[in-house]
Amino acid sequence: MQLKDIARILEAEVLTCEDKLNCTVEAACGCDLISDMLAFTKEKMIVLTGLVSPQIIRAAEMVDLSGVVFVRGKRPTPDIIELSEELGIPIMCTHYPLYESAGLLFAAGLPGWRHWPRAVGGSEDAP
Amino acid sequence: MRLEFPVAGRDFQAAGGAAQKIKRTLRQIGIDAETARRVGIVAYEAEMNIVIHAFSGKVGVDILPERINVFAYDQGPGIADIDLAMQVGYSTAPEDIKEMGFGAGLGLPNMKRYSDNLVIESEVGCGTSIRAVINLPTKEGS
Ligand SMILES: Nc1ncnc2c1ncn2[C@@H]1O[C@H](COP(=O)(O)OP(=O)(O)OP(=O)(O)O)[C@@H](O)[C@H]1O
Ligand SMILES: [Mg+2]
């Protein structure tokens, strides 16, 4: 699945880094805690989050994330948009809540990190 | 080569900036993406712990031919029980910090998981010092 498919499925508005819409995404994770995100995501993954904070973008850059989706109609503030452009982390906004967003992507074939053979440390320390 | 950055307690605007500069520099000098990612995560968690739990400190790396040492030290309250602090889910982060997405009690466990060796020293009422080793991949690719 590509980022642009995710935007289509979630009827999301892409706010930054439109040049990366063709990037491949292999898995997704829903998290509202920064340390969870650092523990359970990797490159070629996206995060669905209701947490609107610049630290989401900073953490996303640390794990080489492919993108961040803000759910439930939450709008990132200008400092978040600026940081996402500076660090090259695409962000999009969907009106769907977290649960529906995850369900839609999962139903479309995008797995969670557990199913992903390259997940750090395997599945034994999954949440 | 040594990189070192100051970290100010409670400065959430600058928070994470040191880890980002460290990671970017590692990539620029040709360190592989996986190692840079591990160093970035360890440095970020250490930096955020200073921002959240301490008054001020430093975070940095020593880049050696076969490994990267991440270090962080702070002036702060210190950690009374390090074994307890290392437990997944243990956090003393106040409510306003939790609303910002911190306080999962996963920072120190993450640092242990992404490093090859982690040493924590702390003195209550004085401060905390952390050293983590991240080995560079061997040339054979193992
Ligand atoms: N530099 C520090 N100075 C003083 N106390 C610390 C420091 N680092 C960690 N601690 C203590 O150890 C606890 C656990 O730290 P850890 O990083 O694992 O979790 P956290 O910072 O509370 O939450 P998270 O990192 O998941 O956002 C902290 O809540 C705090 O009580
Ligand atoms: Mg922490």
pLDDT at residue A123, rounded to an integer: 46
pLDDT tens digit sequence for B60-87? 999 999 999 999 999 999 999 999 999 9
- Whether B142 maps to a domain, the answer reads no
Which of A29, A38, A55, A68 has the most B C-beta neighbours within 10 Å, making it the best mutation to test the interface with B? A38
Percent of chain B with pLDDT over 90: 96
Exposure string of A64-78, with b = 16+ CB inside 10 Å and e = fewer, is: bbbbbbbbbeeebee
In a domain, B141, yes or no: no
Report the nearest atom of ligand 1 relative to the CA of B91.
29
Average pLDDT of span A40-64? 96
* Positive or negative: CA dihedral B122, B120, A126, B48: positive
Percent of chain B's residues with pLDDT above 70: 98
Residues of B in contact with A62 (CB under 8 A): 19-20, 23, 37, 40-41, 44
- pLDDT exceeding 90 applies to what percent of chain A? 87
Judge whether A36 and B106 are in contact, CB under 8 Å.
yes
- Residue B41 sits in which domain range? 2-135
Domain that holds residue A29: 3-109
Q: What does the pLDDT read at residue A119? A: 45
Report yes or no on A23 lying in a domain: yes
A42 within a domain of the structure (yes/no): yes
Q: Is the predicted pLDDT of residue A114 greater than 80, yes or no?
A: no
Total domains, chain B:
1
Residue A113 confidence class, pLDDT cut points 50, 70, 90: confident
Per-residue pLDDT averaged across B88-105, rounded? 96
Q: What is the CATH number of the domain that holds A70?
A: 3.40.1390.20
Q: What is the pLDDT of residues B24-36, one digit of tens each?
A: 999 999 999 999 9
Whether residues A38 and B106 touch (CB distance < 8 A) is answered with yes
**In this structure, is residue A29 part of a structural domain?**
yes
Chain A residues with CB inside 8 Å of B20's CB?
58, 61-62, 87
Question: Per the domain annotation, does A122 fall within a domain?
Answer: no
Q: Is the pLDDT of residue A95 over 80?
A: yes
Look at residue A121 and tell me whether its pLDDT is greater than 80. no
B50 in any annotated domain: yes
User: To the nearest 5 percent, what fractions of chain A are helix, strand and coil?
Assistant: 40, 15, 45
d(CA A121, CA A124): 7
Average pLDDT over residues B34-39: 97
Nearest by CB to B44, which of A33, A38, A87? A38
Residue B140 falls inside a structural domain:
no
ipTM: 0.93
How many angstroms is it from A21 CA to the middle of ligand 2? 33
User: CATH number, domain at B14?
Assistant: 3.30.565.10
The count of structural domains within chain A is 1
Q: What is the pLDDT of residue B141?
A: 52
A96 belongs to a structural domain: yes
